Amino acid sequence: MSDDKTLETDATELLRTLIRNACVNDGTPTSGQEERSADAIEAYFAGSGLRCERYSAGAGRVSLITRIEGSDPKAPTLLLMGHTDVVPVNASGWERDPFAAEVVDGVVWGRGATDMLNITATMAVAMRRLAKSGFRPRGSLTYLAVADEEAGGTHGASYLTREQFDAVRADYVITESGGVPIPTRSGVKLPVTVAEKGVNWRRLVVKGTPGHGSMPFRTDNALVTASEVVRRVALYQPKATILEEWRRYVEELELAPELQAALTDPDRVLDAVAHLEPLGLARLAHACTHTTFSPNVVHGGSKINVIPDRIAVDVDVRALPGVTPLDVDAMLKEALGDLASRVDIEAPRGQEGSRTSLDTPLAHAMARVTQALVPGSKLIPRMTGGGTDARYFRWKGVPSYGFALHSQRIPYTEYPLMFHGNNERIDTETLRLSAAMWEALCREFLG
């Protein structure tokens, strides 16, 4: 078998194993059970000389670490990090069994194929090949298969960076997601995730006065008040902010000049996205230029003939980098206006966003390596509204990127639908490209 074919087969088979392990994380402490995939990856490393360590922040919530020690303690070090858990599925929406890991015409189907077992697997393949080849880098290379990303990292990256930082310490981190090629007139652009919005979850507790449902006139019904609270929060529109990452991303898309100008002007962007097609770009442009508020869950009421005195509305707030949790609360009060005094704001999660420069020695090495594999390609910065484990490292000042290297077999417009959606899949050429890229990058940057 040719070397390329071996790489592709290795990555495909390891990915299929990880999909079949079905480490489904529904947010409860006993779900996930990532130990299964830690076992599989450790077994895959057998015979390569790599020795594994295990860290666990709960029964079965195992993260696996292996390392190739560097020879020069002053040389920069790199951590490759992939999560092993996946989100639950609604199998009825899938065209294929989400945990069978079928390969159909060069495409692997299954939960986690895109988010992010493909990267976890290809990083492991590169790690094993480097170890077997006797690679002796100047700076240390660490591989981390981490648990619990999908529920915020309590049993994974949050725990490791807080309690076991020496085990995961590195000068640079790469994890999900990026590297899905965007074709433009001047060539292929490869986005690198360099910034994340801050995840802020708020519970708005609306108060009222209980009473009999048979006589609603002039009562103080918390549900009726809550409906106005939901309306105000949904319509609330804080002023746009244009961050450098967004400006550069839009410039690289090579859109019509008038559209590019509007999407990067804080006074015009909201009008520009109002009727913009495709809808995916409109949503992205809005999210990358605004702190957003989405009221998603309502709890309350007890019985059909009782006027409710308490309704809780859960709002998913995504704050632009630079917007603090306190700023988020101030925005919510502004949105509520004269109803603010009737609402208690609880904050189950308040996190700041995070940013990393794309002008670092590692990013320059990524650019050189990807240009060799995809001639004419160019790395561009990207911001995401979703949270990844990169934030725990960025908060500690460690430059952290989301990247991989994808083929153009699956169009970039398909990817947003597959993350946490139905019919997740990845083509095996992408697995080969990514594995080759990780190996070349480690040799280029650490060698």
Which parts of this chain interact with Zn ion (CB under 5 A)? 115-116, 176
Taking the complex as a whole, the smallest distance from the CB of residue 275 to Zn ion amounts, in Å, to 32
Q: Are strands 62-68 and 52-56 parallel, antiparallel or unpaired?
A: antiparallel
| Residue 320 DSSP class | P
Residue 110 has which token pair?
Answer: 């299954």
Q: Are 199 and 349 in contact (CB under 8 A)?
A: yes
Partners of 314 in the β-ladder? 203, 297
d(CA 253, CA 255): 6
Q: What is residue 184's three-state secondary structure?
A: strand
Identity of the residue, 117 or 328, whose beta carbon is nearer to Zn ion in the bound complex: 117
Identity of the residue, 295 or 387, whose beta carbon is nearer to Zn ion in the bound complex: 387
d(CA 76, CA 171): 6
- Over its C-alpha atoms, the chain yields an Rg (Å, rounded) of 23
Identity of the residue, 120 or 377, whose beta carbon is nearer to Zn ion in the bound complex: 120
Taking the complex as a whole, the smallest distance from the CB of residue 416 to Zn ion amounts, in Å, to 13
Taking the complex as a whole, the smallest distance from the CB of residue 370 to Zn ion amounts, in Å, to 21
Q: Are 361 and 77 in contact (CB under 8 A)?
A: no
Identity of the residue, 89 or 440, whose beta carbon is nearer to Zn ion in the bound complex: 89
Which of 127, 120, 118 shows the shortest CA–CA distance to 156? 120
Amino acid identity for residue 58 in this structure: G
**E strands in 386-427:** 400-402, 425-427
Cα–chain center distance at 29: 20
Partners of 295 in the β-ladder? 315
Q: Are 107 and 427 in contact (CB under 8 A)?
A: yes
- Show which residues are catalytic: 85, 149
Taking the complex as a whole, the smallest distance from the CB of residue 181 to Zn ion amounts, in Å, to 19
Taking the complex as a whole, the smallest distance from the CB of residue 54 to Zn ion amounts, in Å, to 21
Q: Is the dihedral of CA 108, 111, 113, 119 positive or negative?
A: negative
Taking the complex as a whole, the smallest distance from the CB of residue 176 to Zn ion amounts, in Å, to 5
Partners of 349 in the β-ladder? 201
Identity of the residue, 247 or 420, whose beta carbon is nearer to Zn ion in the bound complex: 420
Q: Are 434 and 5 in contact (CB under 8 A)?
A: no
Identity of the residue, 15 or 335, whose beta carbon is nearer to Zn ion in the bound complex: 15
d(CA 444, CA 447): 6
Q: Are 425 and 418 in contact (CB under 8 A)?
A: yes
Taking the complex as a whole, the smallest distance from the CB of residue 259 to Zn ion amounts, in Å, to 31
Which of 235, 229, 347 shows the shortest CA–CA distance to 298? 229
Identity of the residue, 10 or 115, whose beta carbon is nearer to Zn ion in the bound complex: 115
Identity of the residue, 14 or 335, whose beta carbon is nearer to Zn ion in the bound complex: 14
Taking the complex as a whole, the smallest distance from the CB of residue 156 to Zn ion amounts, in Å, to 11
What own/partner pairs with CB < 8 Å and gap ≥ 24 does 250-259 have? 250/285, 252/184, 252/189, 252/378, 252/380, 253/182, 253/184, 253/189, 254/184, 254/185, 254/186
